[in-house]
Structure 1
Amino acid sequence: MDDRLTDQSTLSATATNEIAESEEVRAQQALLGDADPSLTSAEDVAKALNVDPKQGLSEEEASRRLAKFGPNELASAPPVPKWKKFLAQFQDPLVYLLLAATVISVIAWFIEKANAVPGAEGGEALPFDALVIVLILIVNAVLGYIQEAKAEAAVEALAQMTAPQTSVMRGGKVQRINTVDVVPGDIIVLAEGDSVSADGRLVNAASLRIAEASLTGESVPVGKKPDTLAAAKALGDRANMVFNGTSVTQGTGRAIVTGTGMNTQVGKIADMLSATEDEKTPLQKEMDYVSKILGIAVCIIAVVVLVALAVLEGFHDIHDVIDSLLLAVSLAVAAVPEGLAAILTVVLALGVQRMAAHNAIVKKLHSVETLGSASVICSDKTGTLTRNEMTVERVVTPSGEVQITGTGYSPEGRMVMADGSGSDSEQARVVADEVVATLLAGTLANDGELRQDANGRWETVGDPTEVSLIVAARKVKADHKAKRFTRVGEIPFTSERKRMSIIAKDDTDSGKLTVFAKGAPDVLLSYCSRIRVGSQVRKLTEGDRQSILATVERLSSEAYRTLGEACRPLETSSLADVPGVTVNAAGQVADIADQADAIETDLIWNGMVGIIDPPRTEVRDSVAEAHRAGIRTVMITGDHPLTAARIASDLGIIAKDGKALTGDQLDQLGSEAELDKATADVSVYARVAPEHKLKIVESLQRQGNIVAMTGDGVNDAPAVKSADIGVAMGITGTEVTKQSAKMILADDNFSTIVAAVREGRVIFDNIRKFLRYLLSSNVGEVFTVFLGVVLAGFLGIRQPETVGVTVPLLATQLLWINLLTDAAPALAMGVDPQTDDVMGRKPRRVTDRVIDASMWGDIVYIGIIMAIVTLIGMDMHLSGGLFTDRSVEAVGHEAQMVEARTMGFTILVFAQLFNALASRSHLQSAFVGLFSNKWLWGAIGLSIVLQLVVIYVPFLNSAFGTTPLSALAWLECIGLAAIVLVASELRKAVLRAMARK
């Protein structure tokens, strides 16, 4: 046993105790008692678990056991209490700053009350500034908590959509169920690429190899056999057991589940108390960076202002000091958009949900950021670019060629002579016999399954290519002959071997054995020495070989996938009698998979089939859309080069005369430089092995590309994992590939990838929209406070007889803007429909800043305009101002200042609402698609209502330092605020004119 197991088993004594005390675990352990399943025969394990390995459990029994033994999942760390999640909303440096402002406000209020003349009026009855800040902090925490809860719920929903599944035998039928529903006694069906979902005792295995590195540390896949062990062995040496969390790398098998959930080997060493912290996304990190830069800038501004005030006017008493500190807090509050992190999370979560609705399931929120940057999409052909409805259309035998009618998986059709001759001729009957022999080999050397459900619909299990052979065999009644054969051994197909063989006994001929094989024609042909012509078998000549290979070329050029079929009667009922087969001392045959050289030799060539998988009609448009977006499409397939080139040219991936590069040609490229040169030009690769896929992805990445790679089989997993955006097939994909991927296609369709890239670009654009909106609004607040203080005397904000600091806007007013009136439009912009042509520009590099120089120009420009119109509005309502010189005697300076602040407060809110319309595009006019986002208009309406409430509700007047405005004042507010939209439109017009030139 690996040392890591021993170390892990002592990770948490508490966890071990909790596992031991679990009722579900104790109930599972009682099933087998003290028996070690590895030392017990499979038959005895089946009896102990009360299951028939050939039938599996019934649905009723499985449901009963699920209720008794619990779900098949590891116990997780206890969920974080809601109250802790709520308190976590306050763990932010900005919140600490606001709490400091609260303390300062309370101190200022106490000092003011202490220094008040007894019996005199004036001063606040309560510290409204402090109370409002605390209230808004609580509101922000509640909003953040709700938003995070929604985001977590969205991610959890996606996790359910991508829940791993397991093939099990239930009621005599193989079916796919959620892994969490696997129970002790289930018969799990294992195939290459599957993740083992529970601990189990093997019943049978064919060339089964399982990677157990995650459990034992053993780097080489372990060969598995169902033989009962003679003595107890370490975990890594239990060859007749399979373990939860490992993966099948080769072969097939079936096992009886002996333990699920915490009663598995993984469960026994699990640390239930461990918790994984969520890592911040690159976008969140950049937002932290932006906030940091803004904070530093504001601190510098605050220091400059305070030093200037101290030098020019001096601090006369404690009130001046407190006012100056509140000014610094106001600047900080104005600079940082408090709800940014929560809004960002929600927008990403909503985007992921929209993608899921269109069959693109993104497993991690941050992958959305990478999607919009994809510059190369590497795609498999079958099922992704094509329909994955494989149909055998042609069968070519030594005596002729036939066409099989009918499409899809319904076994309805017949054979028709390709040359148009009738079916009654002697030649046609000879060809028909050869076709039956060919399809008989194809349907026996086959792991697929075709069955009809209760509604009469045909269901397929397994590889579509294999199922197509079964369908064709049924069309020509070859399946009747197949019923007399029983499989006794298998040499499985692998991507390296490119062929599959089975050994079957003929139940009608004394159990004599026959080898049936299928595979790539050029590969299988090299193992054939004879050919079947009519009812005779003769030597395969060089002329025969050249003719067969020419037919392969012809069919491949017509976009057919070709498979050769062969057989070999062994003339014996025992493999031990076959020359070259290895037997042990007891006379037993060693693993059949290791006997390929002896068994797959001297084969008889029967014929070949031509299988068509038509391209998806929508893919051509998607490829064109990808090209328009600067995204290159690359096809990587194991098919014949001519087939790959034909499909690729039909879809517009390459020109009509384009060629495919093969795996052998890739191997001949000596250096990375040569490989990079080839991958920079070639867009179709055929006959490739798993290592070639990985090489292609890494080569494209070296050239600075952001690569999306699709895959379905276990051999695709390394390339999928190495790609920037690994994409797994949701229908045909293996569990190993799905675990390696960042995105899963629920419909296995290439067009879904392109749609996801478009959606990713739209989401990224929307993030930039609300960042432009929030940051320009906050910069406008900073400039308003800074210029208002510096130019206070010039604008009439501070009267000549006034001493100390007079801020143009209160901290509570700035908080109100940032947390309430800003949040709704920002969220609405996060779901804004596409405004610019996102697929009409080149992919964004991941090194590009989210907020680039051009966007900073927008932010500062709009911020300055906001500050100017806000201060002008205030000046118009103050005596001694630049634009209006109102008499202070009529209402008093304090009342006049309240009115001016209300004007500035309202102008700033409306300026930001106009800015929300302007921020939807960097170049496009706000009036294009003005009403396309109903949510944005709803958010603007909500913000206006909130502003009316804070102005016209009496107790909020005291809390926020506001007063009701006249109708004329409202016209002034809206007119001045609209200047922001006008200024933005003028800037966009200039930029568009410059772009045209």
Structure 2
Amino acid sequence: MVDRTKDQSAASATIEDAPTRQGLPNDADPSLTDALAVAKALDVDPNVGLSSAEAARRLERFGPNELAGAPPVPKWKKFLAQFKDPLVYLLLAATVISVIAWFIEKANAVPGAEGGEALPFDAIVIVLILIVNAVLGYIQEAKAEAAVEALAGMTAPTTSVLRDGKVVRINTTDVVPGDIIVLAEGDSVSADGRLITAASLRIAEASLTGESVPVSKKPDTLREAKALGDRTNMIFNGTSVTQGTGRAVVTGTGMATQVGKIAGMLSATEDEQTPLQKEMDYVSKILGIAVVIIAVVVLAALAFLEGFNDIHDVIDSLLLAVSLAVAAVPEGLAAILTVVLALGVQRMAAHNAIVKKLHSVETLGSASVICSDKTGTLTRNEMTVERIVTPSGEVHLTGTGYTPEGKMTAADGSPLSGDPSLKAEALATLAAGTIANDGDLREENGRWEVVGDPTEVSLIVAARKTGAMKGYGQFTRVAEVPFTSERKRMSVIAKDATEGGKLTVFAKGAPDVLLSYCSRIAVGGHVRPLTEGDRQTILATVERLSGEAYRTLGEAYRPLGTANLSEVDGVRANAAGQVADIAEQADAIETDLIWNGMVGIIDPPRTEVRDSVAEAHRAGIRAVMITGDHPLTAARIASDLGIIEKGGKALTGDQLDALGDDRAAFDKATSEVSVYARVAPEHKLKIVESLQRQGNIVAMTGDGVNDAPAVKTADIGVAMGITGTEVTKQSAKMILADDNFSTIVAAVREGRVIFDNIRKFLRYLLSSNVGEVFTVFFGVVLAGFLGITQPESTGVTVPLLATQLLWINLLTDAAPALAMGVDPQTEDVMNRRPRRITDRVIDASMWGDIIFIGIIMAAVTLIGMDMHLAGGLFTDRSVDALGHEAQMTEARTMGFTILVFAQLFNALASRSHLQSVFVGLFSNKWLWGAIGLSVALQLVVIYVPFLNTAFGTTPLSPLAWLECIGLAAFVLVASELRKCVLRAMAGR
């Protein structure tokens, strides 16, 4: 037994060192050690794998199989980060200025005289509101991080391992040293390991070694130590399987892998800002520059016209500049954006669309083309063999789905009893397809579970229905030439125990492809040469079945007449009789085959997809089918689903190839054709690139490893959650948990709703803040006309205090804006053309809304103040016994309250650019709750005595309340009138 007390200290070694060996002696290099010896050293049986209990112990000892990330940021640092903002710095400067002004005022006060504030309330309120804003921002960001972490858990990669004698799928983080990894085409390699078996195994290692060509892997022991790229019997974390199958024993996990060593040398990268965040930074910057310019102009004008007589004038002027800055920028905008996106992504995940990155939501709403595979996405993925066609005739097979219950009947439905040759040929056809098969069918808790490709499993189901394998159970597989999308066929060499171990080749594949490798045909229990007439009959049957939406698979076989592969004609072997990788010798194996027959497999369309296709078309989104199936099958399914009209044609991969490098011709074809059949993965990539050249935002589905380039290139790469390979899932921006086309359309709809809601609260926030800026600016510029002055003093009299503006932003930037972010979808969300990705989030029409509402908001606020001041433009209220200061406090309270209520009315008006506020007025209960909360908090500020002092407010009379609500409601009235005019101009 080896010593297992070593830890992962070797992870700090250089890349050139031998691989880190968790649980292996330090001097043991797995690539130079026999695979079975490595497994023995790691105390694991390669045929059984680790036990669950032992795996748990090793996981606790070695830790999770993940790369070490940056240390978590402490909560106190995240909280302090909320203050890292230029606006906050301005407010802190205002606090310092306010405290200095208070000290000066106290120092100049006459002893024994009343006057002045006991405490610097302005400074205290600014600090408190900054803290409240920071707390809200911290909470919102924490919720967004939790949402992203939850999504990361949903998209966590998995690995097939051998545990307790069974192949199971586990989270990659749970892989431990000694695990037996089971590799298949499309898998991502999750740890470093020593190969035990391999069949045509090729692994892409460019991410680790830079080698662009996939490396052929074999379990043979190396004779000398080699560089990483030449260790052909080793697998490495972070690479991917491009072909073949294999098994390996894990020798290193986490930071003890080769990629872990590289990761240890890299510094953490910063999260990239989303396009929305970048645009919001741009908008904030523009607003900030505008405010600075306005402040400089106002201060210069005041200095020129009135001059600064004392320190108080200077302080008041600086506070004015700060007030303008406070009014201009909505402090919580970035946090709200993140939370709204995170909430939307969570809603998508609940409906089986797992979006990996928040910013992908923005792209989803702009999708103009959805390119989808057929099988499983547009159809049910319940492949069922219904037809079996042999040289003697055709039989039908009853039963649907994967439950192995059904029987063979004649073509007319009558019992199959009068033609034993036809029955025997049908059984032989099903048997050949079952032996040349990588799928499996298991019964778990009364339910049949599919393992592998559904098309392959359908053959196993059919064979079990008919008992086809009763005469073939003596065959065991000894070698395989695997299926690839380029070959469109697979072959298995099996040993017959009843015939002295003699070998037979069983093959299946696309009938037109497999037929070209056949020279004989089995008819009525005899084998004869395959004639040209036979070929034409078979191909005509393929056309007929394809026209009936059947997927056809041909089956063939060839007895090799020997028990030794090295004796087969054309098979290469060394002097010792050892045969080289048989998967590389297809030319010798797949020749002179005997045609058995073919099966017709049906995969019915999903009933809900037709409605989803129609919805996509209404939304201006084009649905495109890209499949490897026969053109007639593809066209039939596409027409049934409404993707194309009845009688529409499919374009094949060969026809695309015939276009050559003529981009114009290729683009013309892709602009007109919506169904592609018999295409290879490289065609998918060309189709996506062509559609993008035409200005489309393309969503592309994929499941196989060869789909990954097209999925990654697409604007919205969509991986299949059930059938998709790990490589494809990592390349995609979205994963379909149910592999359903309707889920893509639903995700696009949700993306549009999220984007609409973002525009709603941006319209609301920016128009409200512009209203605050206009209130302060025009309140100072027009102070003489409006009576906003302090007769006993000189200098600037701001219409609203900085603390009041901060309070307004606190009310409006939080609850109402977040509530608008979850506004229900409008009826027309899928009845309009997709948004172009180049369109600005805040376009000219929205800026029109923002400026218009901002002006109205400022006007009603200043009018309300004017009505309570002496020397006003609209009224000239005499100064009562309380004096000018009390009158100014009352006027500010009026303006303060009008502005709050005007913004709450604006929240209702901003839900649409054109639609009346009364359409769906009460559909968003969260918004009404937020409005109610804001009203309650405003009442507290006005009627709680100590808050009167802090915010410079005074209780209002019932008549004043009527004036406040009436003036504030004019924002809603003006918005409705503007919408009526815009609707009339738009002809609605």
TM range (shorter): over 0.9
Partner of 1:469: 459
Counterpart-to-counterpart distance in 2, 1:680 and 1:661: 12
Given candidates 489, 497, 512, the residue that maps to 1:499 is: 489
Partner of 1:538: 528
Residues 1:76 and 2:101 are matched in the alignment: no
Residues 1:843 and 2:865 are matched in the alignment: no
Partner of 1:417: 410
Residues 1:376 and 2:366 are matched in the alignment: no
Contact 1:835-1:920 within 8 A present in 2 as well: no
Partner of 1:96: 89
Structure 1 counterpart SS, 2:54: helix
How far has the Cα of 1:273 moved from its partner?
6.8
Residues 1:362 and 2:355 are matched in the alignment: yes
Residues 1:194 and 2:187 are matched in the alignment: yes
Given candidates 677, 685, 707, the residue that maps to 1:694 is: 685
How far has the Cα of 1:985 moved from its partner?
0.9
How far has the Cα of 1:420 moved from its partner?
4.0
Partner of 2:3: none
Given candidates 266, 270, 274, the residue that maps to 2:267 is: 274
List aligned pairs for 1:676-715, cutoff 5 A: 676-715=667-706
- One-letter identity of the residue aligned with 2:258: Q
Partner of 1:756: 747
List aligned pairs for 1:529-678, cutoff 5 A: 529-670=519-660, 671-678=662-669
Counterpart-to-counterpart distance in 1, 2:790 and 2:165: 92
Write the deviation string for residues 422-470 of structure 1: whole angstroms up to 9, x where unpaired.
Answer: 4221x2x1111101111111011111011111x1211111100011111
TM-score, normalising length: structure 2: 0.97
Counterpart-to-counterpart distance in 2, 1:260 and 1:657: 55
Counterpart-to-counterpart distance in 2, 1:851 and 1:821: 19
Residues 1:132 and 2:122 are matched in the alignment: no
Structure 1 counterpart SS, 2:264: coil
Structure 2 counterpart SS, 1:344: helix
Given candidates 217, 240, 243, the residue that maps to 1:247 is: 240
Q: 1:323 to 1:785 in 2, by over 3 A?
A: same
Structure 2 counterpart SS, 1:403: strand
Q: 1:200 to 1:483 in 2, by over 3 A?
A: farther
Structure 2 counterpart SS, 1:387: coil
Counterpart-to-counterpart distance in 1, 2:415 and 2:883: 110
Contact 1:201-1:256 within 8 A present in 2 as well: yes
Counterpart-to-counterpart distance in 1, 2:290 and 2:620: 38
Write the deviation string for residues 851-884 of structure 1: whole angstroms up to 9, x where unpaired.
Answer: 1111111111111111111111111111111233
How far has the Cα of 1:173 moved from its partner?
2.0
Bigger mean CA offset, 198-207 vs 776-785: 198-207
Residues 1:994 and 2:985 are matched in the alignment: yes
- One-letter identity of the residue aligned with 2:361: V
Counterpart-to-counterpart distance in 2, 1:447 and 1:227: 24
Contact 1:709-1:719 within 8 A present in 2 as well: yes
Bigger mean CA offset, 955-964 vs 155-164: 955-964
Structure 2 counterpart SS, 1:364: coil
Write the deviation string for residues 878-916 of structure 1: whole angstroms up to 9, x where unpaired.
Answer: 111123322214211001101110110000000000000
How far has the Cα of 1:803 moved from its partner?
1.5
Contact 2:181-2:250 within 8 A present in 1 as well: yes
List aligned pairs for 1:716-755, cutoff 5 A: 716-755=707-746
- One-letter identity of the residue aligned with 2:350: A
Partner of 2:850: 859
Residues 1:781 and 2:781 are matched in the alignment: no
Contact 1:493-1:500 within 8 A present in 2 as well: yes
Partner of 2:878: 887
Contact 2:790-2:797 within 8 A present in 1 as well: no
How far has the Cα of 1:836 moved from its partner?
4.8
Counterpart-to-counterpart distance in 2, 1:18 and 1:238: 19
How far has the Cα of 1:275 moved from its partner?
1.4
Partner of 1:41: 34
How far has the Cα of 1:28 moved from its partner?
6.2
Q: 1:247 to 1:919 in 2, by over 3 A?
A: same
Contact 1:922-1:988 within 8 A present in 2 as well: yes
Write the deviation string for residues 734-778 of structure 1: whole angstroms up to 9, x where unpaired.
Answer: 000000000001110000000000000000000000000000000
Partner of 1:12: none
Counterpart-to-counterpart distance in 2, 1:420 and 1:183: 55
Structure 2: runs of 5 or more not aligned: 1-7
Q: 1:149 to 1:799 in 2, by over 3 A?
A: closer
Counterpart-to-counterpart distance in 2, 1:26 and 1:748: 39
Counterpart-to-counterpart distance in 2, 1:335 and 1:48: 69
Contact 1:75-1:262 within 8 A present in 2 as well: yes
Counterpart-to-counterpart distance in 1, 2:31 and 2:434: 35
How far has the Cα of 1:270 moved from its partner?
2.4
Residues 1:984 and 2:975 are matched in the alignment: yes
Counterpart-to-counterpart distance in 2, 1:418 and 1:901: 90
- One-letter identity of the residue aligned with 2:824: P
Contact 1:821-1:946 within 8 A present in 2 as well: no
Structure 1 counterpart SS, 2:291: helix
Bigger mean CA offset, 895-904 vs 90-99: 90-99
Counterpart-to-counterpart distance in 2, 1:384 and 1:634: 12
Counterpart-to-counterpart distance in 2, 1:805 and 1:783: 16
- One-letter identity of the residue aligned with 1:657: G
Counterpart-to-counterpart distance in 2, 1:775 and 1:235: 57
Contact 1:199-1:264 within 8 A present in 2 as well: yes
Contact 2:396-2:413 within 8 A present in 1 as well: no
Counterpart-to-counterpart distance in 1, 2:539 and 2:497: 35
Counterpart-to-counterpart distance in 2, 1:705 and 1:354: 26
Partner of 1:404: 397
Residues 1:516 and 2:506 are matched in the alignment: yes
Counterpart-to-counterpart distance in 2, 1:62 and 1:391: 39
Counterpart-to-counterpart distance in 2, 1:826 and 1:540: 75
Residues 1:113 and 2:106 are matched in the alignment: yes
- One-letter identity of the residue aligned with 2:618: R
Partner of 2:174: 181
Counterpart-to-counterpart distance in 2, 1:947 and 1:753: 44
- One-letter identity of the residue aligned with 1:92: D
TM-score, normalising length: structure 1: 0.96
Counterpart-to-counterpart distance in 1, 2:793 and 2:927: 43
Contact 1:76-1:273 within 8 A present in 2 as well: no
- Identical-residue share of aligned pairs (%): 86
- One-letter identity of the residue aligned with 1:894: E
Structure 2 counterpart SS, 1:679: helix
Partner of 1:8: none
Residues 1:970 and 2:966 are matched in the alignment: no
- One-letter identity of the residue aligned with 2:715: D
Contact 2:11-2:257 within 8 A present in 1 as well: no
Counterpart-to-counterpart distance in 2, 1:473 and 1:201: 37
Counterpart-to-counterpart distance in 1, 2:468 and 2:248: 32
Counterpart-to-counterpart distance in 1, 2:790 and 2:478: 102
How far has the Cα of 1:76 moved from its partner?
1.6
Given candidates 309, 312, 319, the residue that maps to 1:319 is: 312
Structure 1: runs of 5 or more not aligned: 1-14
Contact 2:11-2:255 within 8 A present in 1 as well: no
Counterpart-to-counterpart distance in 2, 1:327 and 1:825: 27
Counterpart-to-counterpart distance in 1, 2:404 and 2:58: 38
Residues 1:898 and 2:883 are matched in the alignment: no
Structure 1 counterpart SS, 2:354: strand
Contact 2:408-2:415 within 8 A present in 1 as well: no
Q: 1:513 to 1:696 in 2, by over 3 A?
A: same
Contact 1:77-1:273 within 8 A present in 2 as well: no
Partner of 2:324: 331
How far has the Cα of 1:993 moved from its partner?
1.8
Q: 1:836 to 1:861 in 2, by over 3 A?
A: farther
- One-letter identity of the residue aligned with 1:687: R
Contact 1:197-1:245 within 8 A present in 2 as well: yes
How far has the Cα of 1:213 moved from its partner?
0.9
